[in-house]
Amino acid sequence: MIITHLLLAVLWISWCTLHSAMISLSVTSYLEHRLGQGYRFYRLFFNALAVVTLLPVYLYGQGIDSPLCLIAQGPVQTVRIALLLTSLLLFVMGARVYDLKHFIGLRQIRQKPFSSSGDTIPFKTRGILTVTRHPWYLGGIFLIWTYQARMTKADVMVNAILSLYFVVGAMLENRKLKKTMKGTYDQYASMVSMLFPVKWLRYLLKHHRLPVSTRLYPAHPVLAVGAVVFKADHVLLVKRKNPPSQGVWAIPGGRVRLGESIQEAAQREVLEETGVIITPRETVFAFDSIERDDFHNVRYHYHIVDVAGDYVSGEPMAGDDALDARWVSRQALATLPVNEKTKQLLETKFDFQG
């Protein structure tokens, strides 16, 4: 019995190692260079080989006579069913944001001529990807431990190996994305947990609402607002904490929430970022801020509407998405790294320049 269990472990570890190695960045880069246009078939071949080599390993495990060691009963059975349903939900929601034709390899075959960017899975950060960076890996972990109520020692051993495979697979995928997406993926990773949604739950408990979005690689333009506020020939500016325009000075503002008017959003954002209370007025400027990555995918797309605002009360104090907030004079404006659109707005609409 020990020999059969050890052989089963070796077979599963070998399959996991082969599967991970074949899709690693070093192997795929080498094969792309050697195969040229023929590389378009690699992902389809990889998936087919994974299924073909999996079948004998799975069938061997089913034929092993292994003693029963775990039975889900009572409250444990309830938890098992809940996690099983969660795993299915993760797979369904993952399928809604992933390009399944690309994942299988069908889209690459049809691309003529094939280029290296054609095998790069489009990077998205919406839907379930705002909760966990790898919903299918997490769903896989839940599924293998919950799809059956009775487990043998062989089942437990295989599930432990596959759980480790899913974790290592997520880590290798992170490494690959960090290399290909450069600093963009680091920013995304700072906001969303790799597997278990710890950061998502922490945000929910702290703010008592769901996170709105990572705002990276949006499915549609994001509506945002800014406010131009003056006090005694000084304009209210903030030093931006987050991309885009990280570390650059601009008028305060942010995303418009569902159900808010432009004026309501401007009033709220100024208060959250600076602690200053304003009375928002008419729209004075509107523009699009679009940033693309090295693969020409849209990393950010904001449609920004700026309004004028009358100062009511309060002194600037950085909060929310701001590193600093202050009243800026004409002379000081010339010494600060100010966003180009903010400069254009202040010069053309308010004749305010350093």
* Domains in the chain: ranges and CATH: 2-207 (no CATH), 222-350 (3.90.79.10)
The 10 Å Cβ neighbour count of residue 95 is 14
So what's the pLDDT on residue 213? 59
Distance (Å, whole) CA 163 – CA 154: 14
**Secondary structure (3-state) at 330:** helix
pLDDT tens digits for range 60-83: 999 998 999 999 999 999 999 999
So what's the pLDDT on residue 121? 57
In this structure, are residues 303 and 286 in contact, taking their beta carbons and an 8 Å threshold? Answer: yes
* E strand residue ranges, the chain: 68-71, 150-152, 222-231, 234-240, 249-250, 253-255, 277-292, 298-313, 322-328
**Secondary structure (3-state) at 337:** coil
Residue 251 to residues 211, 255, 269, 339, 345, Cα–Cα distance (Å) = 24, 13, 11, 9, 10
Listed residue (98, 73, 207, 218) closest to 151, CA to CA: 73
Residue 73 phi/psi, 5-degree rounding, is: -140, 155
pLDDT tens digits for range 139-189: 999 999 999 999 999 999 999 999 999 999 999 888 888 887 766 788 788
Distance (Å, whole) CA 349 – CA 311: 18
For tokens 């949604």, the residue is 197
The model's pTM: 0.71
Q: What is the mean pLDDT of residues 43-57?
A: 94
Percentage of the chain exceeding pLDDT 70: 94
Listed residue (278, 283, 288, 127) closest to 223, CA to CA: 288
Cβ contacts of 110 within 8 Å, gap of 6 or more = none
> What's the pLDDT band for 271 if we cut at 50, 70, 90?
very high
